[in-house]
Amino acid sequence: MRELYPEIEPYRTHRLAVDARHTLYVEECGNPDGLPVVFLHGGPGAGLAPYHRRFFDPARWRVVLFDQRGAGRSTPFAELVDNTTWHLVADIEAIREALGIERWAVFGGSWGSTLALAYAQAHPERVLGLVLRGIFLARPEELRWFNEADGGARHVFPERWARFRDFIPEAERGAMVEAYWQRLTGDDEATRLAAARAWSAYEGGSTSLRHDPDAPGEFDEPHKAVSLAVTEAHYFRQRFFLEPDQLLRGVGRIRRLPATLVHGRYDIICPVKTAWDLANAWPEAELRIVLAGHSAADPAIVDALVQATDRLADRYV
């Protein structure tokens, strides 16, 4: 099985002001003369991690990564004003133009796959191809699956669900996202942080195929927990600023583009049916369902993603 490429540091970083409020952290890795690709992280609000640089052959790819609005090293921290799917789509174009890139590949996982589809459908002429992982289309059934009491994830991770549920009083559990939102945006700082950590522990601990119900999640660090929970709740409440089935209906705009869809068979955060539905609407795309959960770090996901980026580089380099 393929593994991640070796650890790598950026050869250049940027602070890009995209409006009067928001400034993005942007980094470039790999070969400055290589095939350009933009990496779109998950969440929204999760920010970058160093291993995100390693899905790409550094000799062949010019890898552009950025923390989305309110996340990571972008500022202001956890800012929700002017933070929508369409602001982020515009940010991706602003980065492309600032770096002088004519066309680039788009790589995104989980929420990053949603954003990648939205961007590609808005700007298909700027896209060379897509590599998508853990497909999420932000449809109503997907929004309820993981975070609401009538969703299905609670049957698979009952220990983590119980801790997520029990943070909210019983009378409010019929609308968990809304109940968390009230606490994440309330006046009490201790309550806000506790809500963020409860939200992020539930999600961040449910990503891997090898599940330890008591292990800390990948978003356990308080700074990341806050940006993830607040931003996700904001987007969930607004249905990710998308019309019903918008991304499925827009597939016709990108069907000519080469694409690989990688999804874990046992992904509980984003069930595999979502990838199946997208592949049925987009028969030209390659769908790879592998023995994994949701995490991009699960070995079978790494293998499939590295193979996909290598094949896309073979096509153009």
Active site residues: 110, 267, 294
CA angle 108, 70, 268 (to 5 degrees): 45
CA quadruple 165, 179, 143, 91: dihedral sign: negative
Q: CB–CB of 26/47 below 8 Å?
A: no
Q: What is the largest CA-CA distance in the chain?
A: 58
- In 3D space, the residue among 180, 179, 176, 139 whose CA is nearest the CA of residue 270 turns out to be 139
Residue carrying structure tokens 């069930």? 271
DSSP 8-state code for residue 135: -
User: What is the C-alpha end-to-end distance of the chain, expressed in Å?
Assistant: 23
Residue type, 54: R
Q: CB–CB of 269/206 below 8 Å?
A: yes
Q: CB–CB of 132/110 below 8 Å?
A: no
Contacts of 136 (CB under 8 A, 6+ apart): 110, 111, 113, 114, 142, 270, 274
CA angle 93, 23, 99 (to 5 degrees): 40
Residue carrying structure tokens 């669900």? 161
Other CB atoms closer than 10 Å to residue 293's CB: what's the count?
A: 22
Provide the token pair at 117: 């589809």
Provide the token pair at 56: 């790409």
